[in-house]
Amino acid sequence: MNKPLSVAPHALDLARQVLNIEADAVRALVQRIDDQFLQALNLILACKGRVIVSGMGKSGHIARKIAATMSSTGTAAYFVHPGEASHGDLGMVTAQDVVIALSYSGESEELLAIVPAIKRQGAHLISLTGNPKSSLALAADVHLNGGVAQEACPMGLAPTASTTAALALGDALAVALLDAKGFGEEDFARSHPGGSLGRRLLTRVRDIMHAHASVPLVRENATLADAVLEISRKGLGMTAIVDDGKHLLGIYTDGDLRRTLAKKVDFNTTPVSTEMSRNPRSISPDALAVEAVQLMEQYNISQLPVVDHDKKLVGALNMHDLLKAKVI
């Protein structure tokens, strides 16, 4: 039976050392944000095709992340494996594209093998290496220096600080491009419809409101008994009170019901119009669902009638609907 491994006493010190080395590597990049970085930005901003990011091994993993970050922040980008590129995938590259090639040594055989074809196609090449005098750096139109003083690996072998630095440079590019393109929250939401931001910024009231027969409503001459029955039947904790043209006159809620019970009125004969809340808060079906949340929280209410521009009732929603839609 194998003896369980125990953690070395200096593990915490080693972990802190790794973080300090990697933090220093990223911090050192600040001094290298210069004209080369601006040239890279301008090449990508002027790109009429797509940004192709490539790298081998650990650099390949970083390249995938850079491509994914750019794609989600408004710059059309995708990853191409350099080994696959030399066996047919290079056919995806056009003269209108920009290729970002990652190799810490700058001597990756797989990347260098496809550089002539990239150049022949007329695509621009941006290299991200740790050696400005490397073959890849010298072949590129623009070179970004991601060199580090040391790797965080005690043996100096495993790519650690160097891959962190490359990733940080990729993030710097993506964010600078985002800003230059005026890419905002709504743009981000459109590319992340499944995320919480997407739900908050893209979901409209009409997407989650109760409509048609499921909307609780009674006419202004209905009795309190009619209103209570409608509240119970539709299950939204309220009913709207409308005129013959379905214009919203007021609402009667569970809270109103509790206050009415204290008055001991006759529910079978008392018109709901005498007990309803007049001129209630309402919202447009085209409003963002987050606006409904803000309205409910601001006025401490749990239900909202939905009306069109003529103040006609077209729907209803309550806080539970917003929770179910994960807008909150």
Cα–Cα distances (Å) from 12 to 4, 7, 8, 26, 152, in that order, read 19, 10, 9, 21, 14
Q: Give domain status of residue 106, yes or no.
A: yes
Q: Give domain status of residue 1, yes or no.
A: no
Residue 27 sits in which domain range?
Answer: 11-183
Asked if residue 135 has pLDDT above 90, the reply is yes
Percentage of the residues of the chain whose pLDDT score is greater than 70: 89
Asked if residue 195 has pLDDT above 60, the reply is no
Question: 177 and 236 share a domain?
Answer: no
Over residues 291-304, the pLDDT tens digits come to 898 899 999 999 99
Place of tokens 């080994």: 83
Question: 158 and 52 share a domain?
Answer: yes
The DSSP result for 261-272, as a single string, is: HHHT--TTTSBG
Q: Give domain status of residue 194, yes or no.
A: no
Over residues 44-97, the pLDDT tens digits come to 999 998 899 999 999 999 999 999 999 888 888 889 898 876 655 566 788 899
| CATH code assigned at 247 | 3.10.580.10
pLDDT at 11: 87
Over residues 198-247, the pLDDT tens digits come to 555 668 899 999 999 999 999 999 999 999 999 999 999 999 999 999 99
Question: 173 and 211 share a domain?
Answer: no
Q: Give domain status of residue 190, yes or no.
A: no
Number of domains in the chain: 2
Structure tokens at 259: 């206050």
Question: 164 and 209 share a domain?
Answer: no
Bridge partners (DSSP) of residue 127 are 101, 143
Tell me which of 88 and 177 has the higher pLDDT: 177
Question: 26 and 78 share a domain?
Answer: yes
Residues 130 and 104: beta-carbon distance below 8 Å: yes
Question: 33 and 122 share a domain?
Answer: yes
User: In the chain, helix, strand, coil percent, each to 5?
Assistant: 50, 20, 35
Structure tokens at 211: 């409509």
Average pLDDT of the residues of the chain? 88
| CATH code assigned at 156 | 3.40.50.10490
pLDDT at 326: 77
Does residue 240 come out as left (phi exceeding 0), alpha (psi in the -120 to 50 range) or beta?
Answer: beta
Q: How far is CA 160 from the centre of its chain?
A: 28
Question: Rounded to 5 degrees, what angle do the CA atoms 166, 167, 170 make?
Answer: 90
Q: Give domain status of residue 197, yes or no.
A: no
Over residues 266-293, the pLDDT tens digits come to 999 999 999 999 999 999 999 988 889 8
Question: 64 and 172 share a domain?
Answer: yes
Q: Of 122, 118, 117, 174, which Cα lies nearest the Cα of 144? A: 174
Asked if residue 309 has pLDDT above 60, the reply is yes
Strands (E), the chain: 51-55, 77-79, 98-102, 124-129, 142-145, 217-219, 238-242, 248-253, 277-278, 303-307, 313-318
Residue that is last in its domain, among 149, 183, 217: 183
Question: 88 and 220 share a domain?
Answer: no
pTM here? Answer: 0.62
pLDDT at 199: 54
Which of 6-20, 34-48, 288-302 is most confident?
A: 34-48
Question: 142 and 268 share a domain?
Answer: no
Q: Give domain status of residue 3, yes or no.
A: no
Q: Give domain status of residue 257, yes or no.
A: yes
Q: Give domain status of residue 5, yes or no.
A: no
Question: 153 and 80 share a domain?
Answer: yes
Question: 115 and 167 share a domain?
Answer: yes
